[in-house]
Amino acid sequence: MTNVCKYCSKIKPKPTPQEQILFDELKRIGVKNIYQQYCDGNKHVDIFDRDAGVAIEVDGLQHFGSIQALADLKRTYWSFKKEGVITIHLSNELIEKHTKETAKLVAKFLDEVANFDETDEYWND
- What is the predicted pLDDT for the residue at 111? 93
Please, which residues have CB within 8 angstroms of residue 61's CB and are 6 or more apart in sequence? 92
pLDDT at residue 1 in the model: 39
Question: 52 phi and psi, to 5 degrees?
Answer: -90, -20
SS3 69: helix
Give the pLDDT confidence score for residue 116 in this predicted structure.
Answer: 81
Task: Give all domains of the chain, ordered by start, each with its CATH number.
Answer: 17-116 (3.40.960.10)
The predicted pLDDT at position 108 comes to: 95
Per-state percent for the chain, helix, strand, coil, to nearest 5: 50, 20, 30
**pLDDT, tens digit, for every residue of 75-102?**
888 888 888 889 999 999 999 999 999 9
Can you give the pLDDT at residue 23? 96
Residue 34: left (phi > 0), alpha (psi -120 to 50), or beta?
Answer: beta
Query: Which regions in the chain score pLDDT beneath 50?
Result: 1
pLDDT at 78: 87
